[in-house]
Amino acid sequence: MLIPKLDNVFNNLCSGKYNRNDCARFISKINMSPGLGPWGNCWEWSSRLSKKGYGQFGCSRHNKKINHSSHRVSYEMFTGKLLGTYCACHKCDNRKCVNPTHLFPGTILDNNIDRDNKGRNNALRGEEHNMSKLTWAQVHEIRKLYNTTTLSFVKLAKMFQVSYVEISYIVNNSHWHDVSYIQTRFRKGYRKLNNEDLIEICKLHKSSNLTHAQLGDMFSTNRKLIGKIVNGTYKCNE
Ligand SMILES: [Zn+2]
């Protein structure tokens, strides 16, 4: 893990934009515990956050307090390069993160393209979401378990106390999006369904807008069979 050495940071004071006191204060507000963020090495801002979830850092100059975005300050402090009109974009997609190795300078356009590619336009996702019951550590665990064992969505949903649908979204990377995640386990042929699956399929069919094909994908079976299940012409021989 990259640990900031104060002396190195102090050599990069950005032509007087930040002083030693700012640097020391800045570093004291970073949570560098291992395991944070999608790659386990984010540095999360432990102080004030903006409404959008970015860290806020105040510097006093001539008795005036100026608020800066922490990730911008971090990039400038640790690299010694001023961003000017450039944005500090997150590679890790974790707004609280101020790890300078997770940041890159980009134009506003780059930032918007990057944000749209990561699917976070307008929506807070992952741990930022108040309703989220999971943490990144659990999401990694779910993905690892799904890809390295034969555990089904049903079993994983029970283990982690979330819905089937959520597990399927996590496994296919549409929720808790992580650019570095690689799905290795895919459906091979059709799985034999048990009574538990049938009940869940009927429940989901009534309560959601999922199509037969989507339900088939979720339960590793085909949409024709889902059709039979939801109209009651399929019985399971368990
Ligand atoms: Zn990060």
Give per-residue pLDDT as tens, 89-116.
888 888 999 999 999 888 766 666 666 6
| Ligand 1: centre distance to CA 215 (Å) | 34
Q: Which of the two residues, 8 and 84, has the higher pLDDT score?
A: 84
| Ligand 1: centre distance to CA 101 (Å) | 8
Across 7-11, 113-117, 153-157, least confident range: 7-11
pLDDT tens for each residue of 16-48: 678 888 888 999 999 999 889 888 899 999 999
Q: Is the pLDDT of residue 121 over 50?
A: no
pLDDT number for residue 116: 62
pLDDT number for residue 218: 78
**SS3 category, 69:** strand
Q: How many CA atoms lie within 13 A of 120 on its CB side?
A: 23
Measured between alpha carbons, how far is 215 from 227 in angstroms, rounded to an integer?
A: 10
| Ligand 1: centre distance to CA 175 (Å) | 18
Q: Token digits for 168?
A: 């399927």
Q: Is the pLDDT of residue 135 over 60?
A: yes
pLDDT number for residue 124: 46
| Ligand 1: centre distance to CA 117 (Å) | 17
Measured between alpha carbons, how far is 197 from 205 in angstroms, rounded to an integer?
A: 12
Measured between alpha carbons, how far is 79 from 65 in angstroms, rounded to an integer?
A: 24
C-alpha triplet 36, 93, 53: angle, nearest 5° = 80
- What φ, ψ does residue 215 adopt, rounded to 5°? -65, -40
| Ligand 1: centre distance to CA 163 (Å) | 28
In this prediction the pTM is: 0.50
Give burial (CB, 10 Å; 0-12/13-18/19+) of 95: buried
Share of residues in the chain with pLDDT > 70 (%)? 79
pLDDT tens for each residue of 41-96: 999 999 999 988 899 999 877 777 888 999 999 998 888 888 888 889 888 888 99
- Confidence class of residue 122 from pLDDT cuts 50, 70 and 90? very low
| Ligand 1: centre distance to CA 38 (Å) | 7
| Ligand 1: centre distance to CA 13 (Å) | 22
Domain spans in the chain, listed from the N-terminal domain onward: 6-117, 126-171
CATH class, domain 6-117, is alpha beta
| Ligand 1: centre distance to CA 94 (Å) | 6
| Ligand 1: centre distance to CA 124 (Å) | 16
